[in-house]
Amino acid sequence: MRKIQNTIPQIRDPFQSLLGHLFRDTLTDLQAEQGRRESAPRTNIAETEAGYELSFELPGVDESDIDVQLHDKVLTVSAHRAAASDSGDDEPGRRWHRLEHGHGESRRSISLPQDAADDGVEAVCKNGVLSVIVPKQERAQPSKIQVRAG
């Protein structure tokens, strides 16, 4: 028994192929640029008995371009990464054909639990990863109030 296949020949539109080829990188670049503007560093968060450990991916960012602040139990990490064309390392005669490395501002704010301490926070940047250690504060113990006769 013979199967009959209904196949419709695909008509290739060379104009569409050309447009797709011409604008593929442009559209990808626009999407990447949109992502850079809204960028926040990827973050891992862990809890130990002693505190909270947060790590932020900040590849290519110098320690001097990182700002870490803790205010009202909200930890905010801000970083600035210069574009390769703005770095001042250009050699005479160098022309950039593609710049895909992320650049610009990135910021991430994370609300911490109430037992996070305001003091003793440590931040260390190594190999493009910022590690922030936030110790836990001792929980307030209820105090017994003596009731006296009036």
For residue 126, the domain's CATH number is 2.60.40.790
Is residue 15, in this structure, part of any structural domain at all?
no
- H/E element, 70: strand 66-71
Q: Enumerate residues 6+ apart whose C-beta is below 8 A from 122.
A: 132, 133
Instruction: Report the pLDDT value the prediction gives residue 63, as an integer from 0 to 100.
Output: 94
Instruction: Report the pLDDT value the prediction gives residue 138, as an integer from 0 to 100.
Output: 84
Instruction: Report the pLDDT value the prediction gives residue 61, as an integer from 0 to 100.
Output: 92
Is residue 48, in this structure, part of any structural domain at all?
yes
Taking the complete model, does pTM exceed 0.85, yes or no?
Answer: no
Structural domains of the chain, count: 1
Is residue 90, in this structure, part of any structural domain at all?
no
Residue-number span of the structural domain to which 120 is assigned = 40-83+105-138
Written as one string, the DSSP assignment of 76-145 is: EEEEEE--GGGSS-PPTT---S---S--EEEEEEEEPPTTB-SS--EEEEETTEEEEEEEBPPPPPPPP-
Instruction: Report the pLDDT value the prediction gives residue 37, as an integer from 0 to 100.
Output: 47
Is residue 45, in this structure, part of any structural domain at all?
yes
Instruction: Report the pLDDT value the prediction gives residue 9, as an integer from 0 to 100.
Output: 55
Tell me the three state secondary structure of residue 57. strand
* Angstrom distance (rounded) from CA 95 to CA 4: 58
CA 116, 122, 126, 128 torsion-angle sign: positive
CB atoms within 10 A of CB 119: 8
The parts of the chain modelled with pLDDT lower than 50 are 36-37
Is residue 49, in this structure, part of any structural domain at all?
yes
Is residue 3, in this structure, part of any structural domain at all?
no
Is residue 133, in this structure, part of any structural domain at all?
yes
Instruction: Report the pLDDT value the prediction gives residue 39, as an integer from 0 to 100.
Output: 79
Is residue 72, in this structure, part of any structural domain at all?
yes
